[in-house]
Chains A and B, each alone.
Chain A
Amino acid sequence: MNIAFNVSDLLGILPVLIVIAFAALCALAEVFAKPGQSRGFVGTLGLIGALIAFAANAWQWHGLDGAYSVPLFGGGLVMDAFSTYFNFLFLAGTALTLVLSTKYLKEHGSDLGEFHALVLFAAAGMMLMAQSRDLIILFIALELMSVSIYVLVAFVRKSRRGAEAALKYFLIGAFASAILLYGIALLYGATNSVELTTIRRALDADPSLANGLLVRLGMVLVLVGIGFKVALAPFHLWTPDVYDGAPSPVTGFMASCVKAAGFAVLIRVFTVTFGYDAMEFGAGGNGWVGVLYLLAIVTMFAGNLAALPQSNVKRILAYSSIAHAGYLLVGVVAGSFGNLTIDTEAAATLGPNGAILFYLMVYAFSTFLVFSALSLFGKDGEEHTHLSDLAGMGFRRPFVGLALAVGMLSLAGMPPLGGFFGKFYLFREAMLSGRPEVTILVLVAIVNSMIGLYYYLRVLVFLYMKEPTREVPVYSSRGATTVGLISLALVFLLGLFPGGLLTMAQRGIGSLRPVVTTPTASLTATEPQTPPAASRQAGSRAPRLELKAPPAQLKLATPINLKATTTH
C-alpha cells in the first residue's frame, strides 16, 4: 500500500489536529510565562483550542450525510457520525475540565501551563481512539491518553495521595497496556491484519478461525486492556484509589471522557468487529457476549455494593463510575445480540448502542456537575471530600449544595433529570431486544440502581440534614460556577428534552453499520477495495470536504437495506 493521504484525510481529523496544535501551544506558552505569573492565560488558550476544535467538529457533523462513514489514511482511521459524536463529548469535557481547573490549580499551588497541554493531549488521544479503525493506531492513541492522564493524576505537587495514585495507576496501567498489546498481537497473528475491517472480513470468511482459540484469547486480552480503562470488575481495583487521589477536575475528566473513550472502542471493536456469531454461547460459537454478560453483572454488583460503606464522596463516585460502566455494559450486551451484518436484526441492535451514546453524554454532564462543586472543597494539595465535610453545605453554600444534590440525583437516575432518562432509555432499549437473558440482565441492573440510591442519597443527607462538625476550606470560583451552571442546565435539558441528543446518538450509531462485508469476501482480501467516496476525494483537490454520499450509496442512509453492500 502506498502513501495514501491528502488534504481531505487531514481535514477528516481536523479537530484532532487543532487540539494537538493547541496542546503544543500551551506547552510552549508555559515556557514564555514569567515565573510567578498566573497561568490562567494558558488555560484560556487551551479553552480556545477546545472550542475551535468543537466548531470544526460541528462542521464535520453537518458535512457528514446521514449514516455514512469516510475512511481516512487508507482505512486506519475513519470519520463517521459515531466518532464525531464522541468528539463532541470529549471536546465538551475538555473545555469543562479546563474551565474548572484554572482556579483549582491556583488554590492547590500547582498553577502550571502544562496541565492544560496534557488535558488537550489526552483529549487528542481519546478522539483518535474513537476514530481509529486500526488496532495499532488505537493502541498508540490509548497510550497518548493514558500517559497524559497518569501525569495529570499526579499534577498537584503538594498532594501525596495524588503522587501515590498516579504511581499505582501507571504501574497497573502499564500492565493492562501490555495485555492489550499482546491481545492485538494474537489477533494479528490470526488474521494477518490490525485493521478492523480486514479482521472482520477474515473472521467472516473462516468461522473456525473466528471460534478458534487464538482469536478468543486475543479478544479476551483486548477486552481486559479496554476493560481496565473503563473500570470493569474485576479490573477496577485501581479506580477508587486513583479517583480519590487525583485532583477533582481530573477525576471528573477521567470519569466522563476516559470512560466514554473506552466505550467507543468497546463498541467499535467488539460490537462491530467481533459481532461474528456473537449470540452463540459455549463451544459452538464465539460467544464473547456471554463474557460481557457476566462482566456486566459482576461490575454492577462490585460497584454498587462496594460503594455502600464508603465515606469519602470521591470514592463513592469512583464506585459509582464502576457501577455505571456495568449499566453501560448491559447496553453493549443487548446491542451485540444479533449480528450487525444481518439486515433484519440490525435495527434492533442499534437501539441499545444508541442508548449507550446518549447515556455517556448524560453521565458526563452529571459527573461534571458533581465535580464542579466537589472540586471547591480543599486547599493546598489537600481535598476535603469526606462525607462529613459536606455536612450542612446545602444551606451554607446553596449553589454548591444544589449542584452536588442534582448531580447525585441525576447519577442515581431520578426523574426528571437526564440521568433518569438515560437509564430509562438504556434499559428500555435493552428490554426491547426481546431476549429473556437480557431481560434478566436488565432486572439485575434495576435492582442495582436501587442499591445505588442508598449511597447517592447519603450525600444528600449530609448536605441538608447534618450539622457541620468542623470548618473546611471551600473556595469560590467563577469557572466552577460556569461549569456547574452549564452542566446543571444540560442535566435538566437532557432530562426534559432528550429528543435532539437522541437523534444525534442514533445517527452516530447508525453510521457504524456500513462496516459490513459481503459473506463472499475471502481471507486473502487483505487489500480493501477502494471505496468510491475515498477515490473521489483523492481525485479532487478541493479544499472543502466533499462528504455527501454518491447516489449509488444512498440506500445506506435508509436504515435497513444493507445487504451485500461493501463500503468500509
Chain B
Amino acid sequence: MFRPLIVIRRIPNIDFMGMRMFGFALSAIMTIGSIVLFGVNGLNYGIDFSGGIVIEARTPQPADISAMRTKLDNLGIGQVALQGFGGPNDVMIRVQRQPGGDQAQENAVTKVKQALGPGVDYRSTNVVGPTIGAELIRAGTIATILALVAIAIYVWFRFEWQFGVGAMLSTLHDTITTVGLFALLQVEFNLTTLAAILTIAGYSINDTVVIYDRVRETMRRYKTMGFSTLINKSLNETLSRTILTVSTTALAVLSLFFFGGQVLHGFSIAMLWGIVVGTYSSLFIAAPMLYYIRPKGVHGRGGEPAPSSTAAANPSPGTKTGAP
C-alpha cells in the first residue's frame, strides 16, 4: 500500500488575526501603489490594445539587428523598434501605428519587407487598427468588473452578503495588484494577459471560498467561541489544503512559464502572481475582513482578536469535527 511521502500532520497555530493590521497595511500599500504605478507608468500595451504593426522575422544567418535597424530607420515610417527574441535568428519588428488609413499600415508592412530583402522568413505579421484596441480595452474592463460582481453575487447567494463583500474586496485587490505588477515590470500587456486577470478573479476566490466554508461551519459548531479565535481556527485548519491546492495549480503555471514560449509569457506571469497574491489575500484580507463586517450568527462576544496566548490554547489537532 502506497503511503504518502510527506504528510503535514500538525495543524499549525498561526495567529492570522493578530497579523491582520500588518496584512491590511501591506495590501493598502500594494493597492495604492498599483493604482499610482498604473497612473504614472501606464501599461506596456501590446499590439492587441495599442494597434500598430508587429512582424516576427527569421533571418537565414544570425540576425544583425543594428544593420537591420539602419535599413528600417530610413523608410520614413516613424519609430521602428527591433528586438531579438527566442533564437539568434529571430527578430521582432515593431512599427508604430501609421498616420492615415488602413492603406498606410499596409504600405508600411510592404516597405519593411522590401527593405529587408529576400531570404527573410516572416513568421508572423500583425496589423491592428486603432478602433479595435479601444474596443478590446473596453470589453476587457467590462468583463473584469462583471466577473467581480458576479462572483460576489454568487458568494452572497451561497453564504451571506457579508461574505460576498469580503470575497469581492479580496478579489478586487488581487486583480488590481496584478495590473500593478504589469505597470511595474512593464511586461507586455496583451489579450492573454487580460484572460489571465479574469481567470485570477475566478480562481483566487477558490481559497477564499474554502476558508469561508470552514468559518461558517465552525460558527455553527462553536456558537460561543470568540469570532477572532474562530477565524484563526478555521484558517489554520484549512491551511494545508490552501497550500496544496495552490501548489498544484502553480506547478502547471510554472511549466507554462518555462516551456510555453514567448506568447504565453505575460499570461503565466500574471497567473503566477495571481495565484500567490490570491492565497495571501484569502488568508490576510478576506478572512480578517469578516471580523469587521460580522456575518449574522456570530454570537460569541469575544469581540477583541485573541492574543496569541489564547490562540495557542486552541483545540488540539485531534479535535473531533463531529457529524451532526
A and B associate: no
- Using a CB–CB cutoff of 8 Å, the interface residues on chain A facing chain B are none
| B residues lining the A interface (CB < 8 Å) | none
